[in-house]
């Protein structure tokens, strides 16, 4: 079995090109494959490899002060879900292209998975307000699954979210809105932007769907969570819809 990780961390990076080269060298030495994005605002990682290779890579990364608090989501696959290792330097680790959406200036308020599950169980938050789950992913992703009765938007790119959300803003005023995505990176930026735009009733789901699966399971979630590799989607037990070995056999 191979160990798969998904992780992101917002922190100022003074020399993204140098860090990208450093991370690529370490990942290659550990025999890892996947995608790493590096920007002035932080890093975004999707990697798979041996358990020793992954943990060795993470140990060296967390030894750097700016990544000491890196939170990682783990899952497993029978075979390598990535064809190769790709390391890119970008302007953002997730493109949003909106002002007032930088986690470097402070995080948006978050709700933990256990608290959210309790709210969904009881049908309201602790103040008695209805809870609306806002899916910040695109239509291909939520086609594989999303939270029950979630508000989904007909978008193909994360940058389209502000315009697609506009018609719903008035209807959301009396609710506690919980933005969510795969691992937390998009809903974190979206929640910050929404708050800056006057939506003070917005929280982000800490750790995204994968974090919710890890800590709560599939309560109030219908289907699977799309992931950006050959596993296609993970169920609430973090098992893949399609293992790379299965894909080869089916071809």
Contact 38, 19 (CB under 8 A): yes
* Centroid of chain to Cα 16: 21
Give the Cα-Cα-Cα angle 56, 59, 63 (nearest 5 degrees). 145
Concerning whether 66 is annotated as a catalytic residue, the answer is no
**Calpha distance 114→133 (Å, rounded):** 15
Token look-up 């986690």 returns: 103
Tokens (6 digits) for 76: 């497993």
Instruction: For residue 136, give the nearest of 189, 192, 179, 185 by alpha carbon.
Output: 179
Beta-strand ranges (E) seen in the chain are 2-10, 33-39, 42-49, 72-77, 85-89, 110-111, 131-135, 145-147, 176-180, 202-205, 221-223, 225-226, 233-234
DSSP sequence for 128-148: S--EEEEE-S-HHHHTSEEET
End-to-end Cα, the chain, rounded Å? 22
Report how far residue 87's alpha carbon sits from residue 82's, in angstroms, rounded to the nearest whole number.
Answer: 13
- The answer for residues whose C-beta is within 8 angstroms of residue 29's C-beta and 6 or more apart is none
Residues with catalytic roles: 181
């Amino acid at each position: 079995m191979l160990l798969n990780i998904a992780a992101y961390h917002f922190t100022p990076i003074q020399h993204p090109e140098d860090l990208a080269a450093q991370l690529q060298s370490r990942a290659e030495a550990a025999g890892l494959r996947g995608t790493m994005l590096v920007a002035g605002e932080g890093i975004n990682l999707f990697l798979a490899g041996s358990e020793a290779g992954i943990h060795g890579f993470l140990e060296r990364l967390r030894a750097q002060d700016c990544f000491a608090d890196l939170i990682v989501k783990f899952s497993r696959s029978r075979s390598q879900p990535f064809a190769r290792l790709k390391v890119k330097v970008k302007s953002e680790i997730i493109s949003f292209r909106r002002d007032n959406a930088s986690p470097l200036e402070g995080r948006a308020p978050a709700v933990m998975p256990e608290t959210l599950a309790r709210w969904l169980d009881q049908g309201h938050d602790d103040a008695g307000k209805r809870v609306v789950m806002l899916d910040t992913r695109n239509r291909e992703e939520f086609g594989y699954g999303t939270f029950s009765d979630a508000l989904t938007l007909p978008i193909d790119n994360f940058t389209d979210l502000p315009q697609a959300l506009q018609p719903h803003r008035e209807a959301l005023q009396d609710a506690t809105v919980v933005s969510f995505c795969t691992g937390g990176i998009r809903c974190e930026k979206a929640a910050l932007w929404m708050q800056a735009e006057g939506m003070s009733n917005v929280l982000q789901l800490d750790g995204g769907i994968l974090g919710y699966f890890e800590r709560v399971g599939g309560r109030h979630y219908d289907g699977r969570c799309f992931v950006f590799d050959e596993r296609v989607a993970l169920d609430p037990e973090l098992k893949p819809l399609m293992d790379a070995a299965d894909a080869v056999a089916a071809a």
